[in-house]
Amino acid sequence: MDGSPPFTQVQALELVVHCLDRSYDQTPRAKAFVRALGVVKGLDPGEVEALVAADILTDLDGIGPSSAAIVKEALQGKVPAYLAKLEATTQIAMSDGAAAVRAALKGDLHCHSLWSDGGAPVEAMARTAVALGHEYLVLTDHSPRLTVAHGLNRERLLAQLQEIEALNAKLAPFRVLTGMEVDILEDGRLDLDDDLLVRLDVVVASVHSKLRMERTPMTERMVLAVANPHVDILGHCTGRMIGKRPPSTFDADYVFAACAQFHTAVEINCRPERLDPPEELLALALEYGCYLSIDSDAHATGQLEWQPHGCEKAAQGGVPVERIINTWSVDELLAWTGA
């Protein structure tokens, strides 16, 4: 996690939000802290101090007693009690097998920022990845077609590439790699022009629409996408949402054989509601000799801590660590993706 005490009031609230995201807290309290963080960020620190001194911080719209207490304790140079409690109670537990896989990971290949539907700026995501011990992070915001997720068109993607370049100068030797989570269109084409695909370090291709397609056209659609020379990783292959949406229907033999043939890694997606692929498909991907990647698919800094969920799956499934492409150095990874 980024930063160490004493915290500024903004850092303290950011860390509270981080811990709540890590524990996938979807209650109103998580939203309330995000809102409070926005309010405090928008104020001058001196202003906040004066309001705390007068004990009227809660008069501000969006600041409740819990947020006010955190700000007050941070101003006193203390670790806020609520933050200390969250720090202790939201750690993600791992088996020894999963811990060994996690220790071998050098980066994360799938995450989102404010550029699309993520909740944090690229820099905050990158700094969290640094704090987690990573050497690189691939930023994979959504492609243009996914308008609900504010997908990036050509102009915005080019602007993002510039931001990443500037950030890399600041964060070296850590590397923010360029990428995109590109939609696999209904006919298997990708939702981004070739001249842009070729510029990106890592391309994740995922199905986000028409998830209920018939088995044969869905198989063709996925095989075409993973056979595309620009595609490096097949994201959350079944599209399932545990308890909410069943997996898509496709012939996994063809899809994984194509992944193995065309050197497209199969993602182990770590989001608690996805945990995709299910065990039997992970076993099949291994049988076909596919490479794998263990990706958080984080939409907030705290979610970058979700890789242990996928490490657990990999450990249970007996995945050899050398088959996991984000255990490789950045040079090995980029040589493999052809970037």
Task: Provide the minimum distance between the beta carbon of 156 and Zn ion in the complex, in angstroms, as a whole number.
Answer: 17
Nearest CB to Zn ion, comparing residues 297 and 312: 297
User: Are the beta carbons of 77 and 262 closer than 8 angstroms?
Assistant: no
Phi, psi of 139 (to 5 degrees): -90, 120
User: Judged by CB, which is closer to Zn ion: 22, or 72?
Assistant: 22
Residue 136 has a CB neighbour count (10 Å cut-off) of 24
CB of 123 to Zn ion, least distance (A): 19
**Does 238 contact Zn ion by CB under 5 A?**
no
Residues with Cβ within 8 Å of 305's Cβ and at least 6 positions away in sequence, in order, are 22, 92, 132, 296
Short-list 204, 277, 284, 269, CA closest to 247 = 277
Q: Which is nearer to Zn ion, 12 or 137 (CB)?
A: 137
Number of residues that bind Zn ion (CB under 5 A): 3
Is the Cβ–Cβ distance between 152 and 192 less than 8 Å? no
The one segment of 188-196, 210-218, 260-268, 289-297 that binds Zn ion by CB under 5 A? 289-297
Q: Which is nearer to Zn ion, 181 or 201 (CB)?
A: 181
| DSSP run (H or E) holding 57 | none
CB of 245 to Zn ion, least distance (A): 13
- All residues at 6 or more sequence positions from 149 whose CB lies less than 8 Å from its CB, including other chains: 112, 116, 117, 142
Of 10-18, 84-92, 150-158, 206-214, the segment contacting Zn ion by CB under 5 A is: 206-214
Query: Strand order of the sheet with strand 265-269?
Result: 107-108, 136-139, 175-183, 202-206, 233-234, 265-269, 292-295
Residue 202: which H helix or E strand, with range?
strand 202-206
CB 3 within 8 A of CB 15: yes
Q: Tell me how far, at minimum, the Cβ of 134 lies from Zn ion, in Å.
A: 17
Q: Is 181 one of the binding residues for Zn ion (CB under 5 A)?
A: yes
Tell me: does residue 297 bind Zn ion (CB under 5 A): yes
- For 250-328, strand residue ranges (E) read 265-269, 292-295
Q: How far is the CB of 265 from Zn ion (least distance, A)?
A: 15
In this complex, which beta carbon is closest to Zn ion, that of residue 206 or of residue 238? Answer: 206
Q: What six digits make up the tokens of 27?
A: 């209650």
Region near Zn ion per CB under 5 A, out of 10-18, 37-45, 177-185, 302-310: 177-185
Binding mask 54-93 for Zn ion (x = CB under 5 A): ----------------------------------------
Is the CB of 206 or the CB of 327 nearer to Zn ion?
206
* Of positions 9, 67, 160, 206, contacts Zn ion by CB under 5 A: 206
Quick one: which segment of 203-211, 225-233, 318-326, 328-336 binds Zn ion (CB under 5 A)? 203-211
List interacting residues with Zn ion (CB under 5 A).
181, 206, 297
